[in-house]
Amino acid sequence: MTTRTVEVNELKPGKFVVIDGAPCKILKITTAKPGKHGAAKARIEGIGILDNQKRSMVAPTDAKVEAPIIEKKSGQVLAFIGDNVQIMDLETYETIEIPKPDPEEIGGRLVEGGEVDYIEVMGQRKITRVK
């Protein structure tokens, strides 16, 4: 299970939600008052966790939406294979490949043998920090 169900009125900026099938961090939420024939609506603006792309959605405040479950993990860099980085998870000792991030994004330089933090969300992985 990589997502859980939450109500729109429980969401706040800084939390996470799935917009258009992509996990996003909420930047801003605006609500409209209920009209003559409908319920109050919320406009949620977010930025993709994995691709940094802006997305938005509109939903009734009492609607249920998906929120991603984000797992934070640590790993050790084993090798560079083309545009990917081979990492060994420090808990399970599993070897995985993650796309190589931009150096400006992670705030450090990847080196073989170095440790990194990465996230796993909705079956995808991304390096977040170099230790």
Can you give the pLDDT of all 131 residues of the chain as single tens digits? 588 999 998 999 999 999 999 999 999 999 988 877 788 899 999 999 988 899 999 999 889 999 999 999 999 999 988 888 999 999 999 999 998 887 777 766 888 888 999 999 988 999 988 88
* Residue 95 β-bridge partners: 88
Listed residues 68, 88, 105: the one ending a domain: 68
Rounded to two decimals, the pTM is 0.81
Segments of the chain assigned E as strands: 3-7, 16-19, 22-32, 41-48, 54-60, 64-68, 70-81, 84-89, 95-99, 115-121, 124-130
| CATH code assigned at 63 | 2.30.30.30
Number of domains in the chain: 2
> Is residue 77 located within the same domain as residue 45?
no
Domain containing 63 equals 3-68
Instruction: Show the CA angle centred on residue 57, arms to residues 127 and 100, nearest 5°.
Output: 15
